[in-house]
Structure 1
């Protein structure tokens, strides 16, 4: 029986094979072609970038005066972390870091200035939030500083936490997230407080200095800046409480994705430069000598990545030569070389020890 079944199966397979010899040929399945690479020249030009080039300068929105971020020195020159990013962009576009007009803006009118076209980009310690992004439609091109809201108090109060500020007067700035964040913090802990809302950050700081309030609540970087200009900085302390996440970064108005890409990749270029060891001082030598393909692409030696964004081949090289890499910009304005002397913390490179959140996207 067993042998009969085997023979039958063999006969069946032989018959199927014979039938297959006479079967019509089937049409092969179409091959899926790989996606075509779009040449830089085929991409639509950014109308914002075109207008900037015709004008001959970048209009950059900045803080009215915040030590470390954007302020004028005794010669009337703009200085600071955000001001340097404005210059890096001007260098990337024009090869000239001074081809920029700084437009000082309050917290209340900064986004209106973007919508109205008074500025091309906002570099003004502004937090990337869902309301501003999905709700109002502004495009954040990245994060250049990870911050959080805290509280500045007089050391003589001997407080261990902001939760001890029951019934206290707390100065906050209007037109920012500060009051909402303070409300969330105190309400979640059942602590009553009295907000003292001032029109500007400077007004809130001055009110705190006059003792019109018991605490000043703002981004920790802003509190560190405020403390440096108080009459006796050592008499004031920033409490350990961090009551919010404040990812600060550049914003542009919606409708011009190509312009957002220029802002995004200028930021990433200076971040990547630090990771790869490219500095203001060695960029020229590395452009001639480096064999690292990542460095060569960054500095415009290999490929023409600038053309993808409507920029020159040396756009990133020009930005780095003008202002330095991310670490140099940080140290000069906020870190060890500045009056603020802020630690890198979350703003350390992702591969540092200890690591932070700063991560440069690849140029390739």
Structure 2
């Protein structure tokens, strides 16, 4: 009997120790090199697009605004407590790999497709997809063209150094069609070549086509073919050298999606600080519930993110609500979309 008692007490002590080690490890997370660099300089350096309305552009006040831009601000809020502490680096499509590999930026949030080759050759960690897109083809409405087959032998403007360039080649080849590529160095120059009648059609992600057509001199003169040439999951990415930083990016995005699901916004987040819902308590880091402490940042980091940037739905509506009013795949799973945020537990 005494022997059994001793064994039980030893097991209890061991379990207690395991729990203590777990709690101690949780409360003393060692931040990664990129996270530490951000803290030391008191600023996040984020690579973005500077010429795609809705996603990343410089407004008349000289400020960067857009859907992708707001995720940079959210990460700054999560780590530094201030969404304004971001230095933006405008990047063309061809400049992205060198910028992320060379340490010029801490992270990138610039309509960049998640692919096998980029994931491995670029040496990056992709965050959860923030925008599910597909490649399309833009044409002049007066041309009467409604299918890719009608573009056999046509000239097509396309941005070089992108998956778009590879996808359009595959699309024509797989259908036994010919075309003449007219390459552009970046999005604006590619679209301008199309406007200058150097090509019969042009191609990029559908969200980009919508953006450029909407901001063109005569939006009604253009149309988009009813075809998806590819899957284009777009989202932020960061170097593989700091997985701890990548976790902060991922869980900030999941947090913004979860907040939309719970109905927590930048306007009402304060009201939820007294919530007795355990899921919301964990999301917001209320009381003894661990949240940011798992990531080595402020436990209530999501409160700051939501107050200063908003939830996913707010970010979408603010930047893309007029351009792409139907969220489609980019709606929450409860609304028929693909956004399925992981739980804070």
Pair in the same fold by TM > 0.5: yes
* Aligned partner (choices 212, 219, 224) of residue 198 of structure 2: 212
Alignment gaps of 5+ in structure 1? 1-27
Cα distance in 2 for partners of 1:272, 1:195 equals 43
Relative to structure 2, which stretch is displaced further, 128-137 or 163-172?
Answer: 128-137
Aligned to 1:103: 89
Aligned to 1:250: 236
Residue 151 (1) aligns with residue 134 (2) = no
Q: Report the CA distance between 1:158 and its aligned residue.
A: 1.2
Q: Report the CA distance between 1:42 and its aligned residue.
A: 4.5
Cα distance in 2 for partners of 1:42, 1:327 equals 33
Aligned to 1:67: 53
Q: Report the CA distance between 1:257 and its aligned residue.
A: 0.9
Residue 274 (1) aligns with residue 260 (2) = yes
Cα distance in 2 for partners of 1:43, 1:92 equals 15
Q: Report the CA distance between 1:68 and its aligned residue.
A: 0.3
Cα distance in 2 for partners of 1:306, 1:326 equals 19
SS at match of 1:171: strand
Aligned to 1:291: 276
* Aligned partner (choices 322, 325, 331) of residue 348 of structure 1: 331
Aligned to 2:344: 363
* Aligned partner (choices 109, 120, 123) of residue 137 of structure 1: 123
TM-score, length-scaled by structure 1: 0.87
Aligned to 1:225: 211
Cα distance in 2 for partners of 1:89, 1:113 equals 19
**Runs of 4+ more than 4 Å apart:** 33-36
Structure 1 or 2, whichever has the larger Rg, is 1
RMSD of aligned residue pairs (Cα, Å): 1.6
Cα distance in 2 for partners of 1:58, 1:136 equals 20
Q: Report the CA distance between 1:139 and its aligned residue.
A: 0.9
The 5 A counterparts of 1:1-364 are 37=22, 39-288=25-274, 290-302=275-287, 303-335=289-321, 338=322, 340-352=323-335, 355-364=336-345
Q: Report the CA distance between 1:134 and its aligned residue.
A: 2.9
TM-score, length-scaled by structure 2: 0.91
CA offsets 1:105-141 (integer angstroms, 9 cap, x no match): 1111112111111110100010110001134321102
Cα distance in 2 for partners of 1:315, 1:348 equals 24
Do the aligned partners of residues 350 and 226 (structure 1) sit closer, same or farther apart at CA in structure 2, a change above 3 Å counting?
same
Cα distance in 1 for partners of 2:38, 2:276 equals 35
Cα distance in 2 for partners of 1:362, 1:334 equals 26
Cα distance in 2 for partners of 1:256, 1:333 equals 30
Q: Report the CA distance between 1:304 and its aligned residue.
A: 2.6
Cα distance in 2 for partners of 1:42, 1:292 equals 27
SS at match of 1:281: coil
State the aligned residue count: 328
The structure in which a higher percent of residues are helix is 2
Cα distance in 2 for partners of 1:193, 1:117 equals 38
